Chain A
Amino acid sequence: MPDASPIGIFIAGLLTLGIFSFLYKDNPVYKVCEAIFIGVSAAYWAVEYFYSALYRKFWLGVFPPAGSGVEADLLLWGGAILGALMLCRMIPKINWLSRWPLAFIVGATAGLYMMLFFVSNAMKQIESTMQPLIQDSLLETLGSFTIAIGTITGLIYFFFSKEHKGIFGGAAKVGIWVLMVTFGASFGYTVMSRMSLLIGRMDFLFNSWATNFGQMF
């Protein structure tokens, strides 16, 4: 927070300690901090969406300031009308109108996503897996073998039309190990992420907040 005011840093520190107090047990201080967080978040998003979507996107798009060099985009009226139809949900007699923008969103998203998802998450991934096993260095060759064996055995584990016995069963067991290693790596990364948050808060309390506290009192 390079530009935070001293009073802002002071309040942020108190709120951090208030949230940490939940680790002992649920208490009124935690409840107050939680309520402040929810309230501030709701207000922030309301203002952000109003400013970004309604003002910057729609209003300035339809009525660009004179001399800005931006042309009016009348297509935005279509989005505005669909957005207004969503609000019909609150009027029982015409709430069926809200299904139109929903249908538009579902249809457009599915159409947009289908091919892009298939290309980037299926075709390209298969292509990346089908690499030569022998690479320039021993380490890269080992990596290629690991990817090939891991992919094949992992797929065998999820192949349930044949009983997991004999060589097939052995390969499925290797597949389980591959999955376990993957879950372990994911867990390790999750721990790292959460610890970074905790360390970030500790660093804030011991450095920014403590220094600021000393200057204020």
Chain B
Amino acid sequence: MLLAVTQGLGPVFSWFFWITFAAGLGWLLWMSITGREVERRIIFLFMGLTVSGAVLAGIILPVQETTVVRNVFDTIEGLSEGDRVLLSLDYDPSGAPELEPMAKAVSQHCFEKKLKICYMTLWGTGGAMITDVIALAKVDFPDLVYGDDYCNVGYRAGNEAVLRVIASDFRKTFPTDVSGTSLDSLSVMNGILNCADFKYIVAIGSGRPGIKEWVEYVVEPSGALMGSGAAAVSAPQLYPYYPQQMNGMMGGSKGASEYEKMLRRVYPKFKSSRAQATEIMGPQTVAHVFLMLLIVFANISYFLAKKRKGASA
């Protein structure tokens, strides 16, 4: 079974990977039992080799769908052709490995349903992220027309103040799109006066200002319907807002991989498109198993050292 998991490496390297992995773990266990300290650089090396091997092997593991992610998918699935969706990408390049797959999957889903997307960001670095996501989505939808199918209003400085204003008057903060074109001349923005006019808001973020601020400054005062995609590090703090203040959430790579799975189940045409988050989950699982074993070894070492100390006293 293990060899099947690492089949991407080929049979020889697959054996080599698992034998090295097992030998390394055995050595670490031996060091723990004998009470000897392992230098932190050796731990880094092991973690690096483990993740590298898993990435090269292209390990793909099954993903279980959860209700909290399915709610975001089902809401978009339930929208009608021509409905407008606001997609806020509030992250920087360091959050991209986790959040870009979500943004790409949601964009693909919306474009497949012929929904119109307005992209925006509360982060100064978010402009480049929007450009990347649009470029990725356009691979599957090369005929998208700017202004009719989607628009990009970009970034405006002001953090929470931006949200406070767009909750009641979108054009007051964003009178033009990112290239200076008036929103009135973009058909995608026809009839949009404030955030509540969008059928659905998806805020994808990794910090502040982000999802929490969207709930506080937009959802509460305007009553807009919102779903979110959060970096794993901030997800636990955001679950209390589900389901009353946001109807669904994608938490980290796991949430993104669930969304990718649902998208491919309902729309098989996306099976040929790269599932970035699903690819991350294999190495992620291997790294987690390695980390859990390290915690177990460290505890064995701790209790044995305590026992030795008690015996010598």
A-side residues, CB < 8 A to B, are 1-3, 23-24, 44-45, 48-49, 52-53, 56-57, 60-61, 64-65, 68-70, 109, 112-113, 116-117, 119-121, 124-125, 127-128, 182, 185-186, 189-203, 206
Interface pick from B78-86, B154-162, B304-312: B154-162
CA distance A167 to B94 in the complex (A): 48
CA distance A70 to B283 in the complex (A): 51
Pair B232/A192 contact, Cβ less than 8 Å: yes
Whether B221 sits at the interface, judged by CB under 8 Å, is yes
Q: Looking across the interface, which residue of chain A has its beta carbon closest to that of B279?
A: A203
Q: Which residues of B contact A65 (CB under 8 A)?
A: 180
0/1 per residue, B240-276, Cβ < 8 Å to A?
A: 1100110000011110000000000000000000000
The interface on chain B, measured as residues whose beta carbon lies within 8 A of the other chain's beta carbons, has a size of 58
Q: B55 contacts which of A56, A197, A199 (Cβ < 8 Å)?
A: A199
Could you tell me the dominant secondary structure of chain B's interface residues?
helix
- Supposing A2-B136, A57-B156, A190-B233 touch, asked if A197 and B182 sit within 8 A by C-beta, the answer is no
- Supposing A200-B280, A202-B52, A203-B279 touch, asked if A195 and B288 sit within 8 A by C-beta, the answer is yes
Q: How far is the CB of B102 from chain A (nearest CB, A)?
A: 12
- Supposing A57-B157, A120-B245 touch, asked if A196 and B176 sit within 8 A by C-beta, the answer is no
Q: Which residues of B contact A197 (CB under 8 A)?
A: 94, 97-98
Q: Which residues of B contact A112 (CB under 8 A)?
A: 160-161, 164
Whether B144 sits at the interface, judged by CB under 8 Å, is no
Pair B240/A195 contact, Cβ less than 8 Å: no
Pair B254/A198 contact, Cβ less than 8 Å: no
Could you tell me the dominant secondary structure of chain A's interface residues?
helix
Residue contacts A-B, CB under 8 angstroms, 29 given: A1-B132, A3-B132, A23-B44, A24-B41, A45-B124, A48-B125, A52-B157, A60-B176, A68-B182, A69-B185, A112-B160, A120-B216, A120-B219, A120-B245, A128-B240, A189-B251, A190-B233, A192-B253, A193-B252, A195-B287, A196-B97, A198-B47, A198-B51, A199-B280, A199-B284, A200-B96, A202-B55, A203-B55, A206-B56
Pair B252/A2 contact, Cβ less than 8 Å: no
CA distance A56 to B174 in the complex (A): 10
List which B105-148 residues lie within 8 A (CB) of chain A. 124-125, 131-132, 135-136
CA distance A52 to B96 in the complex (A): 22
CA distance A202 to B180 in the complex (A): 38
Pair A189/B284 contact, Cβ less than 8 Å: no
